[in-house]
Amino acid sequence: MLKVKFDEKKFFFCFDTMDFSSILLKWYASNARELPWRNTTDPYSIWVSEVILQQTRVAQGLPYYYRFMERFPTLQVLANAPLDDVMRVWQGLGYYTRARNLYYGARQVMDEFGGRLPSTYLQLLKIKGLGPYSAAAVASFAFGEPVPAVDGNVFRILARLFGVFTPIDSQAARREFFNLAQELIPHDNPGAFNQAIIDYGALQCTPKSPQCSICPFSEFCYAFQNNLVNSLPIKGKRIIPRDRFFYYFMISHQGDTFIKKRTNRDIWHSLYEFPMVEQSKLLNSEELVKMISGVELFQGAEVVVLHVSDVIKHKLSHLNIWATFIILEIDKPPYILLSNYIKLSVNQLHNYSLPRLIDSYMAAEPVEQYFIKQK
């Protein structure tokens, strides 16, 4: 029998914590998803899976997980690999900072922890790339530490179940939900509890159309009982994506082209791209011609524009990128181009990790015709 008490201070119903976790774990026993990182207590594999799954659906992340573990089966192999190899395996998954942090985190573990991931939440938090969620996941799944892994799933489930109205994107939310989850997590099976709540959020208490009619908590769920399922959790300010305007130059010179690694503190750090000029707005054709003739990289060379793509919209969580690809032929690459960019044939581009925007453009457009080697 589920015990329920009413907490007047918080103004929501709360379950007896034992009952909450036992009902959740019972549900999990018959509904758990079969995922490769659940059959291991190896902290490195768990860490990799957690990093891949940040902002990524399981179906999309799974092939990357297999590929990553095949190429970098241990933390030592990852730490000793070149960063470019890591970025290549990650290519297409997006949010590339994750890959870089994982890599530098592995190197840090080699330098500071003798190559073994530490076994406590607080120590794990000291490693680059391990934030509160992934540190809690590794600590609970691999080492059995009762610390909750709190992410959007947990915010949603707990906000609905317990009627928490704190905006989940507010400063106060993380601490409040963490404390609530900390009260609920059982000390004898914390890893399974954290896994169960992930699956509960993915399969049962989903963001849209949760399955309340077959939910074992529905009788006591604040949101369900108060017709607030679609209103909880509360979100504060919506981030309005900023517009950026990228003009890429695919330079054709005797069948070769030019790329460079992005090194600024910006999106796509460590990925490669064609020479690019960013503008503050979309250019009309007159402005485009003027812009091309002013590009420093081409000064002193004869430039013929072969093709200008349509404007392509590429959405990131916080940005809308409006990209135009300009294919142009150049008679004699100026020194500034030769010294700052890598010259290579178009066929070699797949050896470099490129942003998905460029990859998709190359896959969709028959650009090779503009890069036929002239002797």
- Nearer of residues 53 and 229 to ligand SF4, judged by Cβ: 229
- Integer Cα distance of 127 and 81 in angstroms: 18
- The angle that helices 152-162 and 190-199 make with each other, rounded to 10 degrees, is 80
- Nearer of residues 216 and 255 to ligand SF4, judged by Cβ: 216
Q: Which residues lie below 8 Å from residue 348, measured CB to CB, with a gap of 6+?
A: none
User: Which entry of 50, 278, 286, 365 is annotated as an active-site residue?
Assistant: 50
Which span sits near ligand SF4 by CB under 6 A: 31-39, 127-135, 174-182, 205-213?
Answer: 205-213
Q: In the stretch 108-127, what mask flags binding to ligand SF4 with x, by CB under 6 A?
A: --------------------
* Number of other CB atoms surrounding residue 231 within 10 Å: 12
Which span sits near ligand SF4 by CB under 6 A: 98-106, 157-165, 321-329, 341-349?
Answer: 157-165
Strands 342-345 and 256-261, how do they pair? antiparallel
- Nearer of residues 23 and 312 to ligand SF4, judged by Cβ: 23
- Nearer of residues 218 and 279 to ligand SF4, judged by Cβ: 218
The alpha helices in 14-131, defined as continuous H runs, are 17-31, 43-53, 58-71, 75-80, 83-90, 97-112, 121-124
3-state secondary structure of 145: coil
- Nearer of residues 133 and 217 to ligand SF4, judged by Cβ: 217
Site for ligand SF4 contains 160 (CB under 6 A): yes
Q: Judged by CB under 6 A, which of 46, 161, 271, 277 binds ligand SF4?
A: 161
Site for ligand SF4 contains 88 (CB under 6 A): no
User: Of 313, 342, 307, which Cα lies nearest the Cα of 325?
Assistant: 307
Q: How far is the CB of 255 from ligand SF4 (least distance, A)?
A: 59
Q: Judged by CB under 6 A, which of 137, 223, 328, 349 binds ligand SF4?
A: 223
Q: How far is the CB of 187 from ligand SF4 (least distance, A)?
A: 23
Q: How far, rounded to the nearest angstrom, does the alpha carbon of residue 187 sit from its chain's CA centroid?
A: 30
Q: How far is the CB of 20 from ligand SF4 (least distance, A)?
A: 11
- Integer Cα distance of 55 and 97 in angstroms: 12
Site for ligand SF4 contains 136 (CB under 6 A): no
Q: How far is the CB of 135 from ligand SF4 (least distance, A)?
A: 26
Q: How far, rounded to the nearest angstrom, does the alpha carbon of residue 330 sit from its chain's CA centroid?
A: 38
Site for ligand SF4 contains 215 (CB under 6 A): yes
Q: Judged by CB under 6 A, which of 127, 137, 221, 297 binds ligand SF4?
A: 221
Location of structure tokens 């420093």? 296
**Residue 272 backbone dihedrals phi, psi, to 5 degrees:** -105, 155
- Integer Cα distance of 168 and 159 in angstroms: 9
- Integer Cα distance of 134 and 136 in angstroms: 5
Can 176 be counted among the known catalytic residues? no
Q: Judged by CB under 6 A, which of 83, 212, 234, 295 binds ligand SF4?
A: 212
- Integer Cα distance of 372 and 375 in angstroms: 10
Site for ligand SF4 contains 218 (CB under 6 A): yes
* Both tokens assigned to 216: 């074992």
Site for ligand SF4 contains 203 (CB under 6 A): no
Q: How far is the CB of 355 from ligand SF4 (least distance, A)?
A: 37
- Integer Cα distance of 296 and 308 in angstroms: 19
Q: Judged by CB under 6 A, which of 86, 93, 229, 297 binds ligand SF4?
A: 229
Site for ligand SF4 contains 234 (CB under 6 A): no
Q: How far is the CB of 206 from ligand SF4 (least distance, A)?
A: 8
Helices (H) and strands (E) in the chain, counts: 15, 10
Residues known to be catalytic: 50
Q: What residues line the site for ligand SF4 (CB under 6 A)?
A: 157, 160-161, 204-205, 210-212, 215, 217-218, 221, 223-224, 229
